[in-house]
Amino acid sequence: GGCKVTWPELSEAKIEQTFAASFPGSGARMTRQLVEAITGIVAGSDRTYAEGEQKKVTIKTHYPHRAGKELNLSGAESDGIDRGLLLLRNPRDAFQSFHNFKWERENG
């Protein structure tokens, strides 16, 4: 068909963001790439999240894992994200995937 793939861009207008939460090794990177491909809008991460940054479609987080960052999700001083996407993978597979990822980073 007439499918055209383009690089994702920041939204021109503020958008209602969604937290995409998962344990490392659950497929967060692939999910982020799929969201960007479907929407055409850049997806963010809790590592690079800045207050007032409302032009990215999702914000990936691994919190409370130490690779994640806690964000303020309630009250008057919240980061203003009211929606969430929980990515679940069988823990047996996620732990093995995360272990392999760490081993490859440390051992090349």
Rounded CA-CA distance 51/95 in Å is: 31
- pTM > 0.85: no
- Is residue 103 a contact partner of residue 95, using CB atoms and an 8 Å limit? no
The better pLDDT of the pair 75, 14 is held by 14
What does the pLDDT look like over 63-106, one tens digit per residue?
Answer: 765 666 666 666 556 666 778 888 998 988 888 888 888 888 89
Average pLDDT taken over every residue of the chain: 79
The more confidently predicted of residues 76 and 15 is: 15
In sequence order, the β-bridge partners of residue 83 are: 18
User: Which residues, 6 or more positions from 30, have their beta carbon under 8 angstroms from its beta carbon?
Assistant: none
Contacts (Cβ under 8 Å, ≥6 apart) of 84 = 18, 19, 20, 21
